[in-house]
Amino acid sequence: MARAATVDGLLNDMAKIPDRLETALSRLDDMLAARDQRTHQILSFHAAIEQQMDVELEALLPNGSQLRTRLGFSQKIDVLLSATDNPFMPDLGLALIAFNNLRNCVAHGEPSRVVDGHLERFRLELARTYLDFNDPEPPTLHEAAAMLVGALASLSDVEVMITLLGWE
């Protein structure tokens, strides 16, 4: 008798699955609809910037390729700061941190007004890194990501970085 009751209870629970599944899928759709429209672009650029950080770590450190699988974005910034004596790295590090904060903001579904605040903070840090950044129009996300990747790619060549950042 107890076994029959257990089976009946299980069948009853299984009958509720379609409703629970529909509710879960509806919640997923609502969450996707509520995401900031820039989320995909920011996450994609974050991945590209992190990939460039990996390239630079591998080039700067004797065994840099060993770091790839274990370090997060913030830790990679810390290692880059300690691995180079490039005088521009501290400002670049602040811009990278601001971009990482922007990425975290969209990844966790913050509302657009919060994303806007993080984007503005990132642009201010980026402007501090690029002294010739006098354009009245803020850079697009693509331009900003390209600026970070370019600065990272020239870490080992201070002369190129001086030209790139407009510090000459």
More confident residue, 149 or 128: 149
Confidence check: pLDDT of 49 > 90: yes
Least confident of 15-24, 118-127, 135-144: 15-24
Q: Share the mean pLDDT of the chain.
A: 81
C-alpha–C-alpha distance, residues 26 and 74, integer Å: 34
Asked if 64 contacts 82 with a C-beta cutoff of 8 angstroms, the reply is no
Q: Which amino acid makes up residue 133? A: F
C-alpha–C-alpha distance, residues 112 and 135, integer Å: 24
Q: Which pLDDT band holds residue 12 (cuts at 50, 70, 90)?
A: low
3-state secondary structure of 70: coil
Q: Which amino acid makes up residue 21? A: L
Q: b/e for 37-57, b at 16 or more Cβ within 10 A?
A: ebbeebeebbeebbebbbbbb
Q: Which amino acid makes up residue 112? A: S
% residues pLDDT > 90 (the chain): 30
Instruction: Determine the pLDDT at residue 124.
Output: 87
C-alpha–C-alpha distance, residues 163 and 135, integer Å: 17
- At 94-123, the pLDDT tens digits run 999 999 999 999 999 888 899 999 999 998
- At 66-99, the pLDDT tens digits run 766 678 999 999 999 998 888 888 889 999 999 9
